[in-house]
């Protein structure tokens, strides 16, 4: 920094090409810009001056680096040619840049051409951000176990962003590529400026009561100062207090705001957030259809398998039954044969016994006895079973096998 204020040196007046119109001197844009450029180049105190400030919005294009050097009251656009020859700072870092101002005549813009850079400690904004991070971390705002899972299939999405920016158009375009039926509601807020943090925090409290499935906080890229509303304590606490899952997509992929840390899920860009929040409708339908077809095939295959098992079992039962029936039939036939044989043998034996009994009976009967030479004796019409029943002079009738005769008892002999 310059230690003391300085006074511009006087320089010879530039001779403009005069054109008389109602006693006015008219110069061209180029002539005016050329005068301004000569002022900077002729002032020796502006050559090799060291300027202290904080780095913001640094970017690289080929061998050159471009950034803004700023303090709490002003900012200065800077260009560092061949940046690899000097110290390369990061955003938020306080540095001392040595160089000279340059006024681009054709574009009419002032920039500070930096020859060298040296670090000067952490910048004020960076220190404030780190202090706030430490405070919120100690309060549990960044705790992973308190984050709410983002639903896989959201029907209603609310996007908290500026309705006039390119961010919301990119989000809607990305969502509609995947899902035509998902509802998208835009909550219009200021995303930079003095009252932006208050505006965002109030909007988050309101949308949290509306019953959305997911809330996306989104903003495009910008300098650290442009993104400061998303590094504020009130936005972080509003995000932390929400019952609705919150996806934070602030800035570019390299930006990592306090809002990102407090959210349930951080995505590198608004487009990535839209890609994550919206489920692919066609892919889901295809997956469901594929699942149904797989289930159908499984059911059919299982049915065919069970049917085959059942047929095999029935055939096995029938075969076993047939084998059992054949075995039983053979056994019954064998048993019947044995029974028939036994019955025939018994019958033959009984027949022989009967015939012998009949012969014996015939022999033992009256006729048999008569045939054997025995006679039947009757007296007075009654059979005389014993000799004791006779006495001398009894008239008896004698029956033989071939006839009968009458006789008179002339003598009785008893044993």
pTM, to two decimals: 0.51
Alpha helices in 208-280 (DSSP H): 233-241, 258-262, 270-277
| 3-class SS of residue 228 | helix
The mean-pLDDT minimum among 4-18, 126-140, 225-239 falls in 4-18
**284 Cβ neighbours under 8 A, 6+ residues apart:** 153
Per residue in 161-170, pLDDT tens? 998 888 999 9
Per residue in 77-124, pLDDT tens? 999 998 988 888 888 888 899 999 988 888 888 899 999 998 875 566
Rounded Cα–Cα distance for residues 311 and 315 (Å): 6
Contact (Cβ atoms closer than 8 angstroms) between residue 277 and residue 154: yes
Confidence at residue 6, expressed as pLDDT on a 0 to 100 scale: 35
CB atoms within 10 A of CB 338: 10
Question: Does the structure show a pLDDT above 90 at 206?
Answer: yes
Per residue in 340-375, pLDDT tens? 888 788 888 887 777 777 776 666 666 666 666 677
In the chain, pLDDT over 90 holds for what percent of residues?
34
CB atoms within 10 A of CB 85: 11
- Torsion, Cα 150 151 153 159, to 10 degrees, reads -40
In the chain, pLDDT over 70 holds for what percent of residues?
89
The mean-pLDDT minimum among 46-60, 175-189, 362-376 falls in 362-376
Spatial CA neighbour of 248 closest among 226, 223, 276, 222: 276
Provide the edge-to-edge strand list for the sheet that holds 156-161: 183-188, 156-161, 214-219, 246-250, 265-266
Provide the sign of the torsion angle of the four alpha carbons 107, 110, 113, 117, taken in this order.
Answer: negative
Q: Write out the E strands in 245-375.
A: 246-250, 265-266
Confidence at residue 3, expressed as pLDDT on a 0 to 100 scale: 37
Per residue in 307-336, pLDDT tens? 888 888 888 888 887 777 777 777 788 887
| 3-class SS of residue 61 | strand
Per residue in 254-285, pLDDT tens? 768 899 999 999 998 999 999 999 888 888 88
Confidence at residue 266, expressed as pLDDT on a 0 to 100 scale: 93
Rounded Cα–Cα distance for residues 368 and 60 (Å): 153
Instruction: With residue 262 as reference, give the H or E element that holds it.
Output: helix 258-262
The mean-pLDDT minimum among 9-18, 66-75, 87-96, 114-123 falls in 9-18
């Amino acid at each position: 920094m310059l230690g003391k204020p300085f006074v511009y040196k006087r320089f010879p007046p530039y001779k403009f090409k005069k054109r008389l119109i109602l006693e006015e001197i008219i110069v061209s844009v180029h002539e005016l810009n050329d005068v301004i450029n000569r002022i900077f180049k002729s002032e020796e105190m502006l050559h090799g001056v060291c300027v202290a400030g904080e780095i913001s919005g640094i970017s690289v294009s080929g061998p050159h680096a471009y950034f803004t050097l700023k303090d709490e009251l002003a900012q200065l656009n800077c260009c560092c040619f061949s940046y690899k020859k000097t110290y390369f700072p990061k955003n938020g870092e306080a540095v001392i840049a040595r160089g000279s101002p340059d006024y681009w005549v054709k574009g009419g813009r002032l920039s500070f051409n930096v020859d060298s850079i040296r670090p000067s400690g952490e910048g004020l904004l960076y220190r404030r951000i780190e202090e706030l991070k430490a405070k919120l971390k100690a309060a549990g705002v960044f705790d992973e176990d308190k984050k709410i899972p983002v639903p896989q299939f959201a029907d209603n999405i609310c996007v908290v962003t500026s309705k006039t920016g390119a961010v919301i158009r990119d989000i809607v375009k990305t969502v509609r590529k995947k899902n035509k039926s998902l509802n998208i509601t835009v909550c219009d807020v200021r995303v930079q400026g003095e009252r932006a943090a208050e505006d965002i925090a109030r909007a988050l409290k309101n949308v949290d009561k509306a019953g959305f499935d997911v809330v996306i906080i989104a903003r495009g890229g910008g300098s650290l100062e442009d993104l400061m509303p998303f590094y504020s304590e009130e936005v972080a606490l509003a995000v932390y207090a929400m019952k609705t899952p919150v996806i934070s997509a602030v800035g570019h992929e390299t930006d990592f705001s306090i809002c990102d840390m407090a959210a349930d899920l951080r995505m590198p860009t608004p487009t990535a957030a839209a890609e994550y929040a919206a489920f692919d409708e066609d892919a889901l339908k295809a997956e469901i259809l594929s699942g149904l077809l797989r289930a159908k095939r499984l059911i059919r295959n299982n049915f065919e398998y069970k049917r085959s098992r059942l047929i095999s079992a029935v055939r096995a039962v029938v075969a076993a039954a047939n084998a059992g029936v054949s075995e039983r039939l053979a056994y019954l036939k064998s048993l019947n044969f044995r029974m028939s044989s036994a019955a025939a043998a018994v019958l033959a034996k009984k027949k022989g016994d009967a015939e012998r009994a009949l012969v014996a009976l015939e022999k033992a009967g009256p006729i048999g006895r008569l045939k054997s030479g025995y006679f039947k004796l009757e007296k007075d019409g009654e059979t005389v079973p014993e000799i004791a029943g006779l006495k001398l002079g009894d008239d008896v009738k004698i029956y033989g096998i071939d006839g009968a005769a009458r006789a008179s008892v002339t003598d009785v002999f008893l044993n």
